Amino acid sequence: MLTVGPDPAVVERMLVDGLLRCPDCAGPLSRWGHVARRFVRTAPGAVQKIRLRRAICRLTDDRGCGRTHVLLPAFLLGRRLDVVEVIWSALRACVDGFGWRRLATLMDRPVSTVRGWVGRARVRAGMIRDRFTQLEHLLVAADGDDMTRVAPTGGGLGDAVAQIGVCLAALRRARPAVLSAMSVARAVAVLSGGWLLSTRAVRPVLPGLPT
């Protein structure tokens, strides 16, 4: 899976021009059909039907790995029906002390859905924190800055969300145009590779460091 921009027309042009790269070997991706149509919940009571593009890393000139990838728009997370803005708001509110039932009412989502988001985020909290620590390291190292010390919050999910905030602050300093072009929630989705709440391990950003 590869997170891409939200505009399908732009994604199509990038595929044709060979500008999208395989996340496994960095070979150029080409169009390879679509996956089945799926529903996405946006605002309360609103449902959108979308069809995700599939791409393949072709085996040409001793390059490419032949793997296929689903291209996931930046407003989605892998294997989730709701847009990332809703999910990220729920996780932030949970860290601030909101319970599942209150969150479900505020988000207009089933309690089981919100409980699933929070439960998965808690299970993956250490992995999420490490991923965004590595990203922060890359951002500050490029500009010769020091990393920000994150004070423990007393909980794994709180520590992970705090580290995400520190990483986004570093991104804002280093690449202000990036966050001006997308919401914070979409930046989180892109930086996580779309796998923020999945069952799949997140590939390390820096070789030799834990995921």
pLDDT (tens digit per residue) in 85-102: 999 999 999 999 999 889
Residues 65 and 122 in one domain: no
Residue 151 has pLDDT above 80, yes or no: yes
C-alpha–C-alpha distance, residues 203 and 201, integer Å: 6
In the chain, the number of structural domains is 2
pLDDT above 90: percentage of residues in the chain: 64
- The domain containing residue 68 runs over which residues? 2-73
pTM, 2 dp: 0.89
pLDDT over 50 at 210, yes or no: no
CA torsion angle 11 69 31 41 (round to 10): -50
Q: What pairs with residue 54 in β-bridges?
A: 70
pLDDT band at 113 (very low <50, low <70, confident <90, very high): very high
pLDDT at 142: 74
What tokens were used for 96?
A: 């601030």
Quote the pLDDT of residue 209.
Answer: 44
Residue 177, pLDDT above cutoff 60: yes
Q: What integer pLDDT is reported at residue 149 of this predicted model?
A: 83
Nearest to 161 by CA among 186, 197, 129, 183: 129
Q: Examine the domain organization and report whether 37 and 84 are in the same domain.
A: no
CB atoms within 10 A of CB 195: 22
**Are 109 and 68 within one domain?**
no
Cβ-contact 80, 199 below 8 angstroms: no
- In this structure, are 43 and 127 located in the same domain? no
Pair 13, 89 in one domain? no
In this structure, the answer to whether residues 68 and 86 fall within a common structural domain is no
Average confidence (pLDDT) over 112-125:
95
Q: Quick one: 126 and 197 in the same domain?
A: yes
